[in-house]
Amino acid sequence: MTRARQELGLLGERIAARWLIREGWQLVAHRFRHGHRDIDLIMQREQEVAFVEVKARRGEAFGSPVEAVHARKRRELVRSAKVWVDRHGTEGLEYRFDVLGILIDGQNVRVRHIEGAFQLS
């Protein structure tokens, strides 16, 4: 991965975290790693925990950012989330997977939040 792509990813994650915090979520973890996989953001609001995949793009030439979360990525996220739940989860919490697409066009930023994009199975 190029340095420019890494920087865009980090920028997208910062934008997503700020956006979710304004929506009432608290940041629990950033880039939780399990092996070579990671979860971009883990957020909590009351008794709900969201494992958040963030996709940032500078344009839609290759499709919408949220469309980039394909089946393989979902499986990897589920595996990592199960590890996090085993280590840090507590009874009574509900878990879900969200996807945030961040589209950056110059100074304009659009956020698309897909709540409950897929299930922990």
Q: What is the pLDDT of residues 29-42, one digit of tens each?
A: 999 998 888 999 99
**Contact (Cβ atoms closer than 8 angstroms) between residue 114 and residue 96:** no
If we measure between CA atoms, which residue out of 41, 43, 42 comes closest to residue 9?
41
Q: Which of 120, 16, 1 is nearest to 65 (CA)?
A: 16
Residue-wise pLDDT tens digits, 55-88: 998 876 666 777 777 788 889 999 999 999 999 9
Task: Give the model's confidence band at 121: pLDDT under 50 very low, under 70 low, under 90 confident, else very high.
Answer: low
| 8 Å CB contact between 54 and 41 | yes
- Tell me if 17 sits within 8 A of 28, measured CB to CB: no
CATH architecture of the domain formed by 3-118? 3-Layer(aba) Sandwich (3.40)
Q: Which pair of tokens denotes residue 88?
A: 């840090």
Q: Is there a contact between 27 and 45 (Cβ–Cβ < 8 Å)?
A: no
List the chain domain ranges: 3-118
Tokens describing residue 10: 């980090």
How big is the chain by its Cα radius of gyration, in Å? 14
- pTM greater than the 0.75 cutoff: yes
Predicted local distance difference test score (pLDDT) of residue 63:
64
